[in-house]
Each structure stands twice: as structure tokens, then as C-alpha cells.
Structure 1
Amino acid sequence: MPAAEPAAEHEITEADILAAERAHLAESRAALRTMREHTASLSADVAADWVSKQILESQLELRVAALADHPGTPLFFGRMDHDDAGSDLPVTMYVGRRHIHDGDEGRPLVLDWRAPVSRAFYQAGPADPMGWRRRRRFGFSGGELTAFEDEPLDGGAPGLPQPASRILTEEIERPRTGPMRDIVATIQPDQDVIVRADLPRTVCVQGAPGTGKTAVGLHRAAYLLFTHRERLARSGVLIVGPNRAFLAYISAVLPALGEVQVDQATIDDLLGEPTAREPAAVAAVKGDARMADVLRRALWRHLRKPEEGLVVTRGASRFRLAEHEVRETAASLRGTMRYGNGRTSFAKRLAHQILVRMEERGEAPDDRVQDQVARSTPVKQLLDQVWPKVTAEQVLFRLLSDPAELRAAARGVLTGEEQSAIGWAKPARSPRSAKWTAADRALLDELDDLIERTPSLGHLVVDEAQDLSEMQLRALGRRCATGSATVLGDLAQGTTAWSARSWKDVLRHLGQEGEVTELTLGFRVPGSVLDFAARLLPYVAPGLAVPRSLRPGAGALTVRRVPELAAGTVETLTATLEREGSIGVIVPDDAVPAYADALGEAGLAHGVLGPDPGGDERVLIVPASLAKGLEYDHVIVAEPAAIVAAEERGLARLYVVLTRAVSTLTVLHRAALPTELS
């Protein structure tokens, strides 16, 4: 790839370099457009049959979408140079979001950031230049190249701190209106190690607020799709987030990196929407991994002792199995395989024993006869009597609505108090009319897998994993049983009744062996804000290291007591609107309508964040329970004491709320601040 710098007879100025780089950007955009037009012109008519044609058409459509040029997104953000003519490395390498080549000559104009050679852009330094002499970063405004910054890699004293990159800092601090952006231009060396972890490895990231753990997980998914394209195209990649607002917030990241075929879901999307609610203490018992043993016992208790043997008539002959033979056959299969497979195998074993009787009489039956016997009416009737077909809903309904059944299945596993807590005092009439909670949905998924195997994915990314119950983790683990996972979260931000206290426990319940990496250096949250929120750490997660921020954040934090919260919020918001960027007004859940009315009466345009995300308003009123994982340039938090009082793990919720700001945080309170924060 040729260098973009002009070979001038006079001294090269910064303007000359910018002009050359802009010319390379224009050439790259033209080449990308040509690549897209060429792909769009290809026809699927070359396929041999209709099915192949449909598959090829779908692949071509995805490829065209992946080659889309987003005018507001720079095609490349960095460049590496060296002078060694004998090196196998290109003399100049532009690093960007996707590979772009010249259509005529096939010259690489931009190399994909995921390519092995691009690793040097993130990892090279004076201590180890990795064969390069200079790294150049580019500044952009929208899609226009506006600045550059050079960092020498072949000089200076290794080990000494390098001056902070102005362009990198400006990119991190750039106002973030709209959905989450990718961090491909600002990935740090410790983040890059996680991103490039290979597919067989499960990686768990404990990340303090603002350390970019969510972005790291998404970029790892993009890296794996690039590196193992064919394999993951077959098995699939799934992103699991805490709620739909969060998924909407991160939805633009992977498409911006050229990955348009990755599914996203909440745990409720996967397991089924809850239709009922229950006390947190009850949900905690149902979410305990011990319930897996209870459910297994409850399912296999549906097997019944045969009341009689089996008689099969073939023509003029009758073939008999005694009752004890039927019982022994069922007992030999019980618990050795999934319930549904066991039912099928039971019918086949019975049919095989009948065939043995036929052979003893001198007949010569073949496999077709065995299949006929297995499907015969006598075998079906016996099968329904001894090994009845059941659904997960039927099993769980019987378990929770029948105290005797619950005692038998939970004996030695759950205490009497726990059994009383989860048993239904007023059962529904039938499984079909039953209302299921979020915890019940995880139990139903466990039963579904005990009956029929759950398909597995190639890779699973789980964000905010600390908030999942052990049974929910087991459900996700089944979906990556033959693959790997990227597990993301922060133990300090656990807000559910069953929040994890240890990542080793999380990985164990997922059924994955992985390494835990802790990210403590923040890039997004200003230091003054992070230090203020970290006062809560000794109370919510005493074992975690105190996070640090690259950005001091002088003047970023304001804590003010006001006589009237609504009026104080209107006043603060009015002043904040003069600054650039998104604004989140985070309030106690039950106070959302009051704040919406106050802002409306003041004529301040705003939206209200709900479970299902709506528009892209600059100002959003955010219920505290939905703030997790989101970021706003400016955050106004109203009445911390009320946020703490609203739930059992209210201090952890407040820690989440206080760490959503990228530029400024204003805390308004009328009641005294929580003592842990003072």
C-alpha cells in the first residue's frame, strides 16, 4: 500500500499531509462504492437449484449491506509506517472498520482492524514497536478528516509513560447523542487482548463503570465473526442484554463494523415473557441452582409402574411380555437420557423384545417389523400408561400446585420454609391457565431441556451477567454448551435478589471454564464522578478494586440540595441544554410521571425511557431500574435516598445510576444523602 504523503520538493507542511490523507480517504470511498456495486450486480442464477439460489441471494444481500458506506463514519482511523524494504509488512498500513481494496489492481487501501497485521496498531509501543516506526491517528468530524497525530514507535525510552493522545482523548469525550458507538479507534492494549481471545476460550470480564466492557464484548463478537466466519455463520452468535432499551442502545455497534447478522435478545425474549410477578424472596429460591435437582426428580416421577404386561398380536400369533419385564425395561432407561429420548427408546426396547419372541418361534422379522411393533396400538397404550408424554408446563404446574408432590421432589434439597415459599397457595385450574413469573420461565426452560435437548450456539455474549439467577445462567449455558461465551458485568452493579457475588460461580453455572479479567481503568466516566460513586463500593462489593479514570473530570460533579426537586430539575436541565450532547434525567421509578409533568409544564421537550425503546429525544427521563448499561453526556440524578429505598439492593442501584455520565453529573436531593455516600 503506498504511503499517502506527497513527495514534495519543498518542506512538507501539515496542510500537505492532510490533503494527501484526504485524497486517500476519497479514493477509499470510491473503491468501497465500486465493491458494493460489483456485489450488487452479481446474480444468484448460477445456483444449481432453487434452494441454493435462495441461500446465495441471501448471502449476497448480507454482503451488500455489510459494504454500506456510512457518511458520518470514517473509513479508517489510523495508519502505521515503517522503512524496512526487506520486511514482509506493508510499508504503509491504513487501519479501518473493514477491508477495502482497489478494484482494478487489488491493492489494499484499508485493512480491517481485525486482521492479524492490524494488531500492531493497538499493541505496538516504544518497548515493542513490532516492526513499525510510527503510528498515526486521524481526527474526524462526521466523515471528514480534520486532523492527524503522529506517535513515534522506534525512539524514546521504553517503559516511560507516553504523552496522552489528544485525538484519542477527544474521540472518547466526543458527545454521544444517539445509540452507542463502536470504540474501534480507541481500543486500549488490555482491551485488545480480550477482543482477540480465540473462539474456544470463554472470557469473563469484570469491568468497572466506563471501562468499556460492553464495547469490548461486542468487538470480540465482531472479531470472532471475522476470524471464524464460516463456522459461526452455521452455529450463530447471540448477544444477551438486560433489557430492550439496552439492546436498542448497542444495536448500531456491530452493523457499523460490517456485521449485520447477529441476533440480540433479553433473557425474557429467550425464555418467554413473564405473565406474573412474585416477591423477591420467592424468586430467589426458584432461581437457586438446587431447583435443577428438584425439577429432575419431579419430571421422572411422572413414570408409572406398569399395571400389566404387553401383548402384541401379529396375524394369528400373540407375543407377550410379562409385567416385570416391562418394569425392568423402564427402570433400565430411567434417568439415563432425556425424558423424550427415553420414551422413544422405551418403545423401541419393547418392540425389540417382541422381535426376540418372534425369532424364538422361528420367524425372521426385520427392522421394518420392529418399527411397526413400536408404533402398534398395544405399545402406544402401554407407553402412555408407563412413560406418558409430558410438557414442561404440566410438570411445573403439578410440582407447584401439589404440596405432596413438591415435598417428594424437594426432600433433602429445599427446606420446609423454602418449599412453602414457592408452592402455590391458590393454584390455577390447569397448566394452560397458569401465570408464570420470570423465575418460573427459567424453570420451564430447564424442564424443556430435560425433555428434549436445547440447540447450542457457536458463541454467546452475555452482558450484565451478574444480575442473572443461577437457573437463568444454566439456561444460557445450554445455549453455548458446544461453543464459547463472553461474560460481561460488574459485581458492584448487581441489583437483583439473586445477584452474583463471584464470577467463578457464574462460570460454573454457565457450564464454562474461563478466565476472569478485571478492567479497572475507566475511559468514559470522569474521575471526580467515579470517585464519588466509589464511596458506595465498600457496601455493595467490598472485594473489588477501586476503579480509576483516565480523565480527572474537574468540574464534572455537582451535588446540590434543593427545596423542591421538580423545580430544581427544571432549572438544572434548562442550564444543561446549553451544552452539547445527550441528557439523562434519572429518577426513582415511581416518580417518573411527576417529573414528566414538570418538564412538560416548563416547555422542555423530552422523552421517557420505557422497557420498549421509542424515539431518539435528546433529553430522556430514565427510571432508575432501566439505567444500567446506558450512557449520557450529561446526567441529572434526582433524590438518591428514594432510589436506595425503592429496593433491597438500592445502594447497588444508586452506584449504577451515578456512573452513567460521560461529561457531567448533577445530583439533586431534598432528603439527606444516604450515609454511605456522605
Structure 2
Amino acid sequence: MSGSGPEAGALARERTHLAASRAALRAMRADAQALDLRDVAATWVGAEVLRHQVAERVAALADHPDTPLFFGRLDYEDAEGSGVAADGSRFYIGRRHVHDAGGDPMVVDWRAPVSQPFYRASRAEPSGVTLRRRFGYTGGELTAYEDEHLSDPSRAETAGRLLQAEIERPRVGPMRDIVATIQPEQDEIVRADVGGTVCVQGAPGTGKTAVGLHRVAYLLYAHRERLARTGTLVIGPNRSFLRYIEQVLPALGELRVQQATVDDLVAHVEVRGTDSAAAARVKGDARMAEVLRRALRSHVTEPAEPCVVVRGSRRWRVPAYELAEIVRELLARDIRYGAAREALPQRVAHAVLVRMEQAGEAPDDRVQDAVARSPAVKAVVKAAWPPVDPARLVSRLLSDPDFLAAHADGVLSAQEQKEILWARPARGVRSARWSAADAVLVDEAADLVRRTPSLGHVVLDEAQDLSPMQYRAVGRRCTTGSATVLGDLAQGTTPWATGSWREALAHLGKPDAGVAELTRGFRVPREVIAYASRLLPAIAPGLAAATSVRDAPGALAVRRVAAGGLDAAVAAACRAALEREGSTGLIAADARVPRLAEALAAAGLTHLLPGEETTADTRLTLVPATLAKGLEYDHVVLDEPAAVVDGEPDERTGLRRLYVALTRAVSGLTVVHAAPLPSRLA
């Protein structure tokens, strides 16, 4: 409502509350800035920590005029009946908590328990809510509202238009939060308990990425102390994707969440080489973990000579058979190589102290430590349990056929061993040309030597493209924490893409995780998702086709042109898209990108690369098909679908890549082609 009469009066009152809330937020920030930290901390370290915490608090309280401070309101029948422990029965729901000078809430954080009915209350289950109000904004100014009367079935509803408008709002720049439009099924995932891992199978446009990011924000609100101590991490498929999503959490007031790719996590070696699809598939197989374990343990040898420790005038002798028993016991415990190596000198020293006590001496812990550091014991450890460098171990496996054969026997076939062996280096090449899959193997070996630190929570997006060994690498980062796994099996475009979430979760180390499915789309128009879903029987026959809540007549256009006029037709389609509001993405097979860049330049159309922020002057992004995953544009021009399919090693992977490209559009999709379309789209 934004008219005259009572509605205008109500709108004026809401604007007054907005102005008062902004003033209260400024006061909260001023109070934080005015804090006197002198003589508060006992040490300079404590003072630095306090200053850092206050600076973060000040940053989190910044008011962004173009970002609505609140987006909804809940009215309860009565405060006591609502079960809400607060004075009054009206709550404004926003991105952060704001209170007045007396401490009373003016805006309630969307993550607070009292806010949950904003997302889940219905006429069937109103949760004590009599009215839910949504607000509409233009340039930061409150311009409209809509009401839902949940307790009065006779009242006509006005809700729906503002929600739809917010979902469909043109997108220029990086990804926005969806805090004002979270749906009930999404909210259940967002608020799932921190102790459990959740896997979300989400069709295009269902908001799975946004759900994962909002889940991080919720968990940091509900379990801040725990996660501040253990840390949180968002893992994306590539740098372009991370740049696209990087503003979502700061907009929600969360500034300390790490973001990385899987390659960042395993960056133990410099990656300068590439693998064939066959080699990458074998290197990414979970069986490689057993090959690495065997290769590492092969460095352990049982002592053949006794250990003789000299202390003063006495000589203490531990026979070889007893040393061998100690080594075998440590091997049987199957603890990490480095931890066992650190335990071995103490175990040998303990055997010496037993002999000292039997001789009537009374050694203490200091004596045991001294014996453990003695040259004789060090010599035993060096010979029996030598230090191993993970990168050198992997290098030897991949370059020494005999070493690989000895430890891959019964695990990898002879052909698989041949696939992963490095080619003999060219003359003058001194260092190995590590591939991305090799780096994951080094990470596995490093964990076998020394435990990888675990975080409190990890969000893994576009997870369907990970290999089993990459899942293991991510799982090591949350062994004592939980994870949110996001993906779509239909969008798996790597040769090793996972076939089922149960298999993937087992490799992640979370076999008991729940799997939720999101099939109701909010961003991709119904006509577009229906067209893309024609490919599902060929690329993911077990998945149900996605639906969409959005009707957008005319959202799909398929144009065939003469072969010689393809580039010009694509440029013309981009120009037409740019005449409409919002961002435009031109998606093409990687091999076609240079030629299209020239065509755009010849047509006078400036463009960006994926991850670069669009502006009012430059709203066109030229996107290689291999980088399109996870990105969204208001309008998409898809160049030559057949070339997208042909750019992949096999037809199924190519059709999956095409499915990704077809589902990046929020408002409209124009397909331009000269070659025949794939049969399922024709």
C-alpha cells in the first residue's frame, strides 16, 4: 500500500519509526566509538584485542542508507500469548539489532528466535502472529507496505507483490542477501542445528548458495563464541564466484568469515601443470588415500640393533626385539606418522627407565626427557621412523614406477598406474610441474603426517564437481565441526563429478548428514527452467525437474542465424538486452570467447570479465562457459549451444555444461545459434 488516507498515515508512521531507528543505530555506533579503553586491559596484548573488537563492532554498526534497516513487522495478539519474552507485541525485523537509549529493541535481528515466524508463520500455523507486514523501498526510502492477516481468514490479502518484486529486482553488481525473501523451506535449512551437517540438493534458481551464506550468518549469531574460537570457512569453485558472493556476509554484519577455493586449501606446492581427464580421475579417486598411506608407512623399519644409552658410568641396553615391539605397537595404533615419530623416543626412554628402576634408581620425568633426547635414542628414531616430506613422498610416487607399483599393488590397475605417472621431464627442467590433483595428494599426505586443524563450520558450494580426494581435503577441515554442502547433481561438469550425495558425504567424513532438496525456483523464470529441464533425462535421470514461482512471458527467445552472421547476431542480442534494466551476461564456449570479445569491441560494446563488478555504465559481462557456474545475470545471451557441448570431453559433460549456461538468467534468456541445437533442445 502506498496511496492516501489511512494507508498514507500508516506509511508516515513507519517512516517515522525508520528515521528513529536510524538515529538509534547512529547513537549505538557513537557509543562504541566513544568507549575509553585506557587501563581496561592488564597487558598490551589484551588492549590490542579489545581495540580490535571495538573496531569490528563499530564497523558492524555502520548504517548504509541504500540498505533497508528493517524489511518486515510482526504483530502478535498479545505479548504473553506469543511466547515472546519482550515488552510489547510488535517487532520490526531487520538485518541487525537496534535498541533505543533505554535498551528496548527498535529493530530485531532476523536471526533472533522472535523473527522466525516472519519466515514460517502461515494461516494454518500463525504462531501467535496476527499480522505480518512487508516493506517496499526505493533507493533506501520506505515507499510501500503489504499486510498479511494470519489470524483473520475473512481479511483479503495484499501480500505477494512486494515479495515478488524483491525477488525479481534487477541485479547489478555482486550477489545480494535474500534476508527479506527467505522462504519457509529455506529457513529450515538456515536455522538447522550447528552440530549437524546438512546437504542441499538445489536446482537452479532455488537459492542454495544464498541459503548456505545465510546459514553461516545465523550460526555466527546463535553460536558466536563457539565459532569465533573454531572459525568458519566458505569454499567456492573459483575466484570469480568468491568475488561474486563476497559482499553478502558483510551486508549481514559478519566480517570475519574466511573464503577460499579448494585449490587455496591445498596450496602446498606451486601448480603449473595439468592432467589428462583420465589421470585426474585416478588421482582424485579415494583409493589414492590407501596408496599414500602404504607409501608413507613403508619408511618405517624395525630396528635390527639394540639401543645403548650411557648415563654417567652406567650403560642401559634395550634389545632390538623390544625396540621392534615398540615400533610394531605404534604402527598398529595407526596414529599419524608425525605423532608416532614424536612418541617413539619417549617409548624407548620409558624402556630405559624401567631398567633404571629395576636397578634401584628413582628416575623422574626430567630423566626420561633427557634419555629421549640422547644421541643413542635419536639414532634409533632416525633409522626406524625417519622424517618424511609430504611433497617429496608424492613426487616419488608419481615419478618412480617401481615405488608406485609396490604400494598400489591390488589398489590400482597397471593401466591406472601408467595414467598417473609423470612424463619424464624435459632436459633442463629441474622441478616437478605439479597439477591441481597432485596438490590434493600432497594435502592428503600432509594430513597423514600431521593432523589438519579443524574449523567449527564449513560451507562447501558447487560441491557436485569435487573428486573424492577433494571431499577428503574439505572434510579434514571440519572433522570436529559441521558442514553445509550445496550443489546440484545435474550441474556436475568434471570427469569425476559425484554420482550421489550419499557417496560424496561418505568421502567428506559425514555419512550421517541429512539431505534436503530444493526444487522450487525463485529467480529463474518458469519458461527458461522448463526449456533447460529438457536436458535432465540425459544428464541426471534421477532428479525431478525444477519448478518456478515466476511467470515471465517472453523470457525465452531462440534464434537461428546464418553461420556467417553469428557474431554480429550475438552482439545485436547483447545490445538489445542492455536496453533493459539490470545486468547482462554473454555466455559462450571458452574457445569462442576471444572472437566474441572482438565482435563486441567492433560493435562498440564494452564488457567485463566474470567477477568484475558491473556498473551503471558497464553492465555486460563476457563469461566463458566453464566459469558460469554459480553466477546470475538479469539477461543472458547464450552463444552457440553446440559449441558449449563440443567444448567438453564427452557429450554428457557437455550437456551438463549447457544446462548450467541455460539457467543463469533471472529475467530473460536469448539463445543464438548457427549450428543445429542438441537434439533434446531442438
TM-score of Structure 1 vs Structure 2, range by shorter chain? over 0.9
Does residue 52 of structure 2 align to residue 58 of structure 1?
A: yes
Partner Cα separation in structure 1 for residue 370 and residue 472 of structure 2: 39
Does residue 33 of structure 2 align to residue 34 of structure 1?
A: no
Partner Cα separation in structure 2 for residue 432 and residue 330 of structure 1: 36
Aligned residues: 664
Distance 1:262 1:245, change over 3 A: same
Query: Which of 142, 150, 158 is the matching residue for 1:153?
Result: 150
Query: What are the Cα deviations for residues 52-85 of structure 1, in whole angstroms up to 9, with x where unaligned?
Result: 1111111111111111111111000011113436
SS at match of 1:390: coil
Query: Which of 646, 666, 669 is the matching residue for 2:673?
Result: 669
Does residue 7 of structure 2 align to residue 14 of structure 1?
A: yes
2:202 matched residue in structure 1:
207
Partner Cα separation in structure 1 for residue 427 and residue 95 of structure 2: 56
Amino acid at match of 2:115: S
Tell me how far 1:12 sits from its aligned partner: 5.1
Matches within 5 A, 1:230-269: 230-269=225-264
Partner Cα separation in structure 1 for residue 654 and residue 529 of structure 2: 18
Matches within 5 A, 1:257-406: 257-272=252-267, 274-336=271-333, 337-406=335-404
1:47 matched residue in structure 2:
41
Distance 1:44 1:565, change over 3 A: farther
- Tell me if the contact between 2:303 and 2:383 (Cα under 8 Å) persists in the aligned partners: yes
2:139 matched residue in structure 1:
142
Query: What are the Cα deviations for residues 270-301 of structure 1, in whole angstroms up to 9, with x where unaligned?
Result: 11163210101111111111111111111100
Does residue 215 of structure 2 align to residue 220 of structure 1?
A: yes
2:583 matched residue in structure 1:
582
Matches within 5 A, 1:25-174: 25-45=18-38, 46-84=40-78, 86-87=80-81, 88-89=83-84, 90-103=88-101, 105-156=102-153, 165-174=160-169
SS at match of 1:200: coil
Tell me how far 1:207 sits from its aligned partner: 0.3
Query: What are the Cα deviations for residues 136-155 of structure 1, in whole angstroms up to 9, with x where unaligned?
Result: 11001121111111111012
Tell me how far 1:316 sits from its aligned partner: 2.2
- Tell me if the contact between 1:99 and 1:112 (Cα under 8 Å) persists in the aligned partners: yes
Tell me how far 1:43 sits from its aligned partner: 3.1
Tell me how far 1:226 sits from its aligned partner: 0.3
Partner Cα separation in structure 2 for residue 507 and residue 431 of structure 1: 40
Partner Cα separation in structure 2 for residue 573 and residue 430 of structure 1: 48
- Tell me if the contact between 1:428 and 1:434 (Cα under 8 Å) persists in the aligned partners: no
Amino acid at match of 1:203: V
- Tell me if the contact between 1:96 and 1:111 (Cα under 8 Å) persists in the aligned partners: yes
Amino acid at match of 1:415: S
- Tell me if the contact between 2:472 and 2:508 (Cα under 8 Å) persists in the aligned partners: yes
Task: State percent identity of aligned pairs.
Answer: 59
2:424 matched residue in structure 1:
426
TM-score, scaled to structure 2: 0.94
Does residue 472 of structure 2 align to residue 474 of structure 1?
A: yes
Query: What are the Cα deviations for residues 306-326 of structure 1, in whole angstroms up to 9, with x where unaligned?
Result: 342212221222222222222
Task: Tell me how large the CA RMSD over aligned residues is.
Answer: 2.0
Partner Cα separation in structure 2 for residue 157 and residue 460 of structure 1: 46
Partner Cα separation in structure 2 for residue 198 and residue 209 of structure 1: 25
1:632 matched residue in structure 2:
633
Distance 1:431 1:378, change over 3 A: farther
1:558 matched residue in structure 2:
557
1:537 matched residue in structure 2:
536
SS at match of 1:320: strand
Does residue 187 of structure 2 align to residue 198 of structure 1?
A: no
- Tell me if the contact between 2:213 and 2:248 (Cα under 8 Å) persists in the aligned partners: yes
Amino acid at match of 2:231: G
Distance 1:428 1:517, change over 3 A: farther
1:517 matched residue in structure 2:
516
TM-score, scaled to structure 1: 0.95
Tell me how far 1:35 sits from its aligned partner: 0.6
Partner Cα separation in structure 1 for residue 429 and residue 438 of structure 2: 12
Amino acid at match of 1:559: V
- Tell me if the contact between 2:583 and 2:614 (Cα under 8 Å) persists in the aligned partners: no
- Tell me if the contact between 1:126 and 1:157 (Cα under 8 Å) persists in the aligned partners: no
Tell me how far 1:197 sits from its aligned partner: 0.5
SS at match of 1:668: strand
Tell me how far 1:200 sits from its aligned partner: 0.7
Distance 1:515 1:85, change over 3 A: closer
SS at match of 2:91: strand
Partner Cα separation in structure 2 for residue 595 and residue 152 of structure 1: 53
SS at match of 1:604: coil
2:657 matched residue in structure 1:
653
Q: Select between 401-410 and 92-101 the one with higher mean Cα deviation.
A: 401-410
Distance 1:536 1:224, change over 3 A: same
SS at match of 1:517: strand
SS at match of 2:42: coil
Tell me how far 1:613 sits from its aligned partner: 4.6
Amino acid at match of 1:302: H
SS at match of 1:311: strand
Amino acid at match of 2:398: L
Query: Which of 445, 450, 453 is the matching residue for 1:452?
Result: 450
Partner Cα separation in structure 2 for residue 85 and residue 182 of structure 1: 30
- Tell me if the contact between 1:79 and 1:136 (Cα under 8 Å) persists in the aligned partners: yes
Query: What are the Cα deviations for residues 107-142 of structure 1, in whole angstroms up to 9, with x where unaligned?
Result: 211101111011011111111111111111100112
Tell me how far 1:335 sits from its aligned partner: 4.6
Distance 1:361 1:35, change over 3 A: same
Amino acid at match of 1:643: V
Tell me how far 1:334 sits from its aligned partner: 1.2
Partner Cα separation in structure 2 for residue 492 and residue 162 of structure 1: 38
SS at match of 2:129: coil
Partner Cα separation in structure 2 for residue 544 and residue 162 of structure 1: 35
Amino acid at match of 1:53: A
- Tell me if the contact between 1:393 and 1:431 (Cα under 8 Å) persists in the aligned partners: no
Partner Cα separation in structure 1 for residue 105 and residue 423 of structure 2: 69
Partner Cα separation in structure 1 for residue 307 and residue 606 of structure 2: 76
Distance 1:37 1:666, change over 3 A: same
Amino acid at match of 1:621: L
Where structure 2 has 5 or more consecutive residues not aligned to the other structure, the ranges are none
Q: Select between 163-172 and 426-435 the one with higher mean Cα deviation.
A: 426-435
SS at match of 1:370: helix
- Tell me if the contact between 2:628 and 2:660 (Cα under 8 Å) persists in the aligned partners: yes
Does residue 173 of structure 2 align to residue 178 of structure 1?
A: yes
- Tell me if the contact between 2:146 and 2:158 (Cα under 8 Å) persists in the aligned partners: no
Tell me how far 1:427 sits from its aligned partner: 5.8
- Tell me if the contact between 1:596 and 1:608 (Cα under 8 Å) persists in the aligned partners: no
Partner Cα separation in structure 2 for residue 173 and residue 261 of structure 1: 30
Matches within 5 A, 1:429-440: 433-440=431-438
Amino acid at match of 1:30: A
Query: What are the Cα deviations for residues 163-208 of structure 1, in whole angstroms up to 9, with x where unaligned?
Result: 7600000001110000000001001111111111111111110000
Q: Select between 329-338 and 28-37 the one with higher mean Cα deviation.
A: 329-338
Where structure 1 has 5 or more consecutive residues not aligned to the other structure, the ranges are 6-10
Distance 1:252 1:390, change over 3 A: same
Distance 1:85 1:538, change over 3 A: closer
Amino acid at match of 1:659: T
Amino acid at match of 1:29: R
Distance 1:487 1:428, change over 3 A: farther
Does residue 620 of structure 2 align to residue 619 of structure 1?
A: yes
SS at match of 1:95: strand
Amino acid at match of 2:418: S
Distance 1:85 1:508, change over 3 A: closer
- Tell me if the contact between 2:306 and 2:319 (Cα under 8 Å) persists in the aligned partners: yes
1:8 matched residue in structure 2:
none
